[in-house]
Amino acid sequence: MRQKKAISDAVIERLPLYYRDLLLLQDAGIDIISSEKLGERLGITPEQIRKDLTCFGAFGKKGVGYYVSELCQQIVEIIGLQQHWKIGIAGIGHLGWALANYKTFGRLGFRTTGLFDVDHRIIGQNVGGVEVTPISEMGEVIQREGIQIGIITTPAAVAQQVADQMVAAGIRGILSFAPLRLTVPDGIFVFREDLSIGLSRISYYLTNKKD
């Protein structure tokens, strides 16, 4: 499926929202949905949905809507979820533990095959079906398992060092929960999730809401 033009980050960020909701529709036994109904479910205008999908080709049938299973598969191909990406998680504290047990990863086409920590109390434990190994062996496991994506949930003080180790071992993309900007070579994709920023935004809007 060939893209017609450069696609904005905003469009790319909405595609997983469409895919996740389409999976729910599949589970509910719904075969066809209109852009209007899909928009109502997601809080996105039907015009925006149609515009987003048009970036990648022609989808759906005029006067009928989108065939749910077909659009699901098309979005899988657009995002690249058919690659069955392998994930390694560094830092198996509360957040890392939760992510290791996050079942939706598998349904989205991601498979966790490496867990790493420095705490001897955690090393050797089986978490979500994967044994936690010492972070000193992370590079070896990444190369052996062919892990392409790394998730960092370590303390900020060691996050850059962990990122360096991941990149050196062949990691191509990193999702970091550490509250700092990571420096990586060109060609490595890094995205940061910061829960404190999200909570602070909520705090701002609650504090400044109109009566």
Per-residue model confidence as pLDDT tens digits over 159-209 = 999 999 999 999 999 999 998 999 999 999 999 998 888 888 899 889 987
Integer Cα distance of 102 and 97 in angstroms = 9
**What whole-number percentage of the chain has pLDDT above 70?**
97
Q: What is the pTM of this model?
A: 0.84
Domain range summary for the chain, segments of one domain joined by +? 9-78, 84-197
Asked if pLDDT for residue 4 goes beyond 70, the answer is no
106 is in an annotated binding site: no
94 is in an annotated binding site: yes
Pick the CATH number of 9-78 from 2.30.30.100, 1.10.10.10, 3.40.140.10, 3.20.20.70: 1.10.10.10
Integer Cα distance of 191 and 180 in angstroms = 11
| DSSP letter assigned to residue 4 | S
* E strands present in the chain: 32-33, 66-67, 85-90, 110-117, 126-127, 130-134, 149-152, 173-176, 189-192
The answer to whether 120 touches 92, Cβ cutoff 8 Å, is no
> Are β-strands 110-117 and 130-134 bridged in parallel, bridged antiparallel, or unpaired?
parallel
96 is in an annotated binding site: yes
Per-residue model confidence as pLDDT tens digits over 142-153 = 999 999 999 999
Query: 10 Å Cβ neighbour count for 98?
Result: 13
Pick the CATH number of 84-197 from 1.10.357.10, 3.30.559.10, 3.40.50.720, 3.40.190.80: 3.40.50.720
Distances (CA, A) of 9 to 12, 52, 187: 5, 11, 17
91 is in an annotated binding site: yes
